[in-house]
Amino acid sequence: MKKISVFRAIFTILATALFAAVFLLYFSADQNFRFLSAEPEQTLPEILPTLLPNDQNRIGIVAGHWGFDSGHTCAAELHSLREVDVNLRIATYLRDILTQRGYQVDLLREFDPALAGYVGIALIAIHNDSCDYINSNATGYKISSLGEVAYPTEAKNLLGCLNDRFSRVTGQPYSGNVISSDADIFYDYAAIDPYTTAAIIEPGFMNLDYRFLTEKTELIARAIADGLVCYVRGESTGKKAGQVYIQNDLPKHFFDAAPKENGKFILPGIPGITD
């Protein structure tokens, strides 16, 4: 009987096992490759950063032209009214109202260095339209978005809240979203953080809305504050049946168009603010 070498037997077993392992590994890898390559290409959804808690309570207010120039300057017939004074007075009242409501507020100049990369839940720039008489329709407020709109829905919500609250509180007509007050010298609002929802408002025209702008500055500020709070809290802008709104708090003489004796004039400025 022919003897079988032990070493040859071991070698044969190992060679067979190695061949089988290579064979299985090759076809297994091939199957996995074909399986993976057959899957449809997936694109990860864009994830935008969420504002930090300390930023969700911060609101920026830009007093248009403050620290830069006078803006529109009216003729002597309109008491040489300067736009910067109107803007700053409204902005200062607005700052105080929002502060009283618990918000952290930054009152900023037209080209304030703090605007670069500014982060907050919202930012509002305040300007006003021309002193020149254009026509009988040149009255009312205008609102528009500012900066890079990273969240279109948020921008729409801010404009909706400002429009709704300003109209209800002041009774002023809406004049559109085309801002015309020296737009060429505005700060480059694309420099603020793209996730800060920003808007610009012109409460009125400095000609036909002269009395409204100079005598109702605190009311204007309250209307803007209501709009900002509406946005921050995600409140509704639809008026429900039987809803009583802040308009009931307006002075009885607010819509009285009769001229006042000696032409009441409140501007410029309020204590504590200087150019």
Cβ atoms of 83 and 128 within 8 Å: the answer is yes
Question: Is residue 150 very low, low, confident or very high in pLDDT (cuts 50, 70, 90)?
Answer: confident
pLDDT in tens, 158-197: 999 999 999 999 999 998 776 655 545 567 788 999 889 9
Taken in order of first residue, the domains within the chain and their CATH numbers are 59-237 (3.40.630.40)
- Asked if the model's pLDDT at residue 249 lies above 70, the reply is no
pLDDT in tens, 197-223: 999 999 999 999 999 999 999 999 999
Question: Is residue 62 very low, low, confident or very high in pLDDT (cuts 50, 70, 90)?
Answer: very high
- The per-residue pLDDT for 56 is 75
